[in-house]
Amino acid sequence: MKKRFIQVAVLALSFAIFTVFSSPFDLISFAARPDRTAPTAPSNLKATAITDTSVSLSWTASTDNVGVKLYEIYLNNTYLASVLSTTTAYTVNALKPATSYQFYIKAKDARGNISQASNILSVTTTGTIQPLTRKMVGYYAAWAAYSGYTPNQIDATKLTHINYAFANIGSDLKITLGYPDIDSNNIKLLNSLKQTNPNLKTLISIGGWNWSGRFSDAALTDASRTAFADSCVSFITQYGFDGIDLDWEYPVSGGLTTNVKRAEDKQNFTLLLQKIREKLDARGAIDQKHYLLTIAGGAGSSYVNNIEITKLPQYLDYANIMTYDLHGTWDRYTDLLAPLYTNTDSSPQYKASVDNGICAWLNASFPAGKLVLGIPFYGYIYSSVNNSNNGLYQTFAGANSISFQSIATNYLNKPGFTRYFHSQSKAPWLFNGSVFISYEDEQSIPYKTDYIKLKGLGGAMIWELSQDPNEVLLNTLYNNIK
């Protein structure tokens, strides 16, 4: 009886062991590693071949290889792929030319224990980045760093210019850091992108919607204009920028109700740009380089009428036209954020389009080649929308801005939501019977790049890069503007 009991116990124990482990390999691993600690790290990671678009890697196996099941390959601190422990080589494809990458390897055993990383290997692919024939201007919002999107995450190979938004205007009417707690590090990371794309230019953008209140005072007299322009030069030489982008919202009228506004802003805006151009050129002569001067301009006749548009091209390298926010949360009815063309729909509110905005500049004789068309990487989401006409031109209870990433993650292809596309305005929207979202997408952007080419415009401008961290819209824009 005692002998039979022992036999049954042994059989039960054997069954339990085979139940716990999924394969004979697991048994070997468990036998070899009774303490279940992680395997030792692979070593001697090196590149055996480098091309424009690929890197071939090899490494020395973990010294504990009897218990290793897989080797995990990491690219730029992100898991990329796995290979069986029977191999110690892997080729990474679909990389970008003349771009720096970092790799490391980890060993993983059958129980899921993962080793420490191998040595980190830094590699730069061969080849050169071909400069774009048109401008690709991307705004980077300083506050994006608070949410974890720092400038070094920007794909600089797809941009010609990056505008850092925003610098403020101090009470002394000189420009100053807008976010001093993060700006210095942000700017350092931003300018480091020039190692990836040597043709990249960075500009400091001044003002914006919230910080345009002192522009009128800064532009008022020759003394104030001189002080402001001198501060611009000091700022860009201190922080390594290639130019100045003036985002005055807006001369003469518009913008925040608290902004100082004067009728003479129209002439003083020209004089301010003239003074900045003189100071930049003087500094450029010393540094033997051309410093850029650009503006962010309004899309439409009201803005054009409030500036001396025929006098500006001599001072500006180009103008970024804010061809978005053509409709938004301030309206009484839902509408399209950035319709390319004016449609013939019956609508209870005003009509606006990208085409109308650009033509206002062209008809005022501003050079087409110095116009850069703005494209939003965000949308507007409206709630409690009247369920009629697929949500378009309907009343709503509330609305907010929303990034393209949030739209793609939370609303696109989700149950209940239907995507619509306006055949005349070339713009998409989503609607579920109550929630309406107007935005830009992979279908609408090619129509805008075709328009840029048709009109002979200087390029495209993005507001703003952090709202599309997965580069869905950026890739679409880049691939279609070339």
Domain range list for the chain = 43-124, 135-375+444-481
Does the annotation count 249 as an active-site position? yes
Which of 72, 249, 440, 464 is catalytic? The answer is 249
Pick the CATH number of 43-124 from 2.60.120.330, 1.10.260.40, 2.60.40.10, 3.40.50.150: 2.60.40.10
> How high is the pLDDT of residue 132?
81
Q: Which CATH superfamily, name and number, covers 135-375+444-481?
A: Glycosidases (3.20.20.80)
pLDDT band at 36 (very low <50, low <70, confident <90, very high): low
Q: pLDDT digit string (tens) for 50-64?
A: 998 999 999 999 988
Q: pLDDT digit string (tens) for 105-136?
A: 999 998 889 999 999 998 989 987 667 889 99
> How high is the pLDDT of residue 216?
98
- Cβ burial 12-43 (10 Å sphere, 16+ → b, else e): eeeeeeeeebeeeebeebbeebeeeebbbbbe
What single string gives the DSSP state of each residue in 77-132? TEEEEEEETT--EEEE-SPPTT-EEEEEEEEEETT--BPPP---EEEE-SS-PPPP
Domains 43-124 and 135-375+444-481 share a fold: no
